[in-house]
């Protein structure tokens, strides 16, 4: 299916890669969101434009399928487009290609538009005429089997840390892409060297602001691992890594 898309090529940096010289999951997610921002800018509802209307987008869910690793020295091109919104939910999909043009990953994400003063949910009409003229593309880059991530039943604490300013973004909470660093740090290098993530999904439930102490918990379930970032009994983010 043809239609609108934003294409952006990235020259990857050493800091984008992990100890295996493979693109970090957090870098992959950050680059798709960089492209999402570039697309929103050219369509008239980017961060700066919406801030003037005192509203903005917050991510709710992400699902990604990884087809092969992106290695040090390679380039990456991201194709992204917005799907028609459904009530309060805005979906955006992306396809990622390596330097040879091979598709290496597909990502789907769901967002909510919120009022920046009280963080109440907003309908698409809040964006104004840019919503009416947006060339939404009704095509999915990937079929999402389930957005919902089950809670841990017998999770084990791995480590805790306090959210500091270096992981926070312009909404003053821990940047959503950084959670993949928090979650992959629940594994040792030996574990990650012997297993390959073929898909992951994340559900963002609460905003972790500076000073919040997060505890990372892990529960292995065969071919997948469930993870939670929580503060006492309150879950902030859930993740499933599928190997």
Contacts 24+ apart (CB under 8 A), 44-47: 44/130, 44/134, 45/127, 45/130, 45/131, 45/134, 47/170
pLDDT of residue 221: 95
Residue 143 included in any domain: no
Q: Are residues 100 and 179 in the same domain?
A: no
Q: Are residues 66 and 120 in the same domain?
A: yes
Q: Are residues 128 and 87 in the same domain?
A: yes
CA 121 vs CA 55, 60, 115, 118, 213: distances in Å: 10, 12, 7, 9, 27
Within the chain, which residues score under 50 in pLDDT?
none
Q: Are residues 163 and 231 in the same domain?
A: yes
Q: What are 178's two structure tokens? A: 């950084």
* 222: containing domain: 156-242
For residues 174 and 168, the answer to whether their CB atoms sit within 8 Å is yes
Q: Are residues 115 and 22 in the same domain?
A: yes
Using DSSP's 3-state secondary structure scheme, residue 62 falls into strand
Q: Are residues 114 and 188 in the same domain?
A: no
pLDDT of residue 1: 55
**How many whole angstroms separate alpha carbon 213 and alpha carbon 30?**
23
Residue 149 included in any domain: no
Q: What's the pLDDT tens digit per position in 157-170?
A: 999 999 999 999 99
> Number of structural domains, the chain?
2
What residues contact residue 133 under an 8 Å CB cut-off, 6+ apart? Answer: none
User: Scanning the structure block, which residue is given the tokens 């500076």?
Assistant: 210
Q: Are residues 43 and 127 in the same domain?
A: yes
Q: Are residues 88 and 18 in the same domain?
A: yes
DSSP at 170: T
pLDDT of residue 218: 98
Q: What are 216's two structure tokens? A: 């990372």
What residues contact residue 129 under an 8 Å CB cut-off, 6+ apart? Answer: none
Q: What is the CATH number of the domain that holds 205?
A: 3.10.129.10
């Amino acid at each position: 299916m043809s239609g609108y898309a934003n294409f952006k090529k990235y020259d990857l940096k050493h800091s984008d890669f992990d100890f295996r010289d493979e693109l970090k999951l957090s870098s992959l997610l950050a680059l798709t969101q960089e492209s999402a921002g570039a697309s929103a800018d050219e369509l008239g509802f980017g961060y700066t434009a919406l801030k003037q209307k005192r509203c903005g987008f917050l991510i709710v869910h992400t699902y990604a399928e990884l087809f092969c690793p992106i290695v040090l020295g390679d380039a990456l091109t991201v194709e992204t487009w917005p799907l028609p919104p459904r009530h309060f939910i805005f979906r955006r999909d992306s396809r990622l290609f390596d330097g040879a043009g091979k598709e290496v990953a597909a990502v789907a994400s769901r967002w909510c538009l919120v009022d920046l003063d009280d963080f109440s949910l907003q309908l698409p009409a809040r964006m104004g005429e840019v919503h009416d003229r947006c060339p939404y593309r009704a095509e999915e880059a990937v079929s999402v089997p389930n957005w919902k991530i089950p809670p841990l039943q017998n999770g084990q604490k791995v480590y805790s840390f306090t959210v500091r300013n270096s992981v926070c973004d312009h909404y003053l909470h821990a940047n959503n892409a950084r959670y993949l660093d928090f979650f992959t740090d629940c594994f040792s290098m030996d574990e990650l060297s012997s297993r390959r993530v073929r898909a992951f999904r994340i559900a963002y439930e609460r905003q972790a602001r500076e000073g919040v102490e997060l505890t990372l918990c892990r529960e292995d379930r065969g071919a997948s691992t469930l993870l939670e970032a929580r503060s006492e009994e309150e879950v902030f983010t859930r993740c499933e890594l599928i190997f």
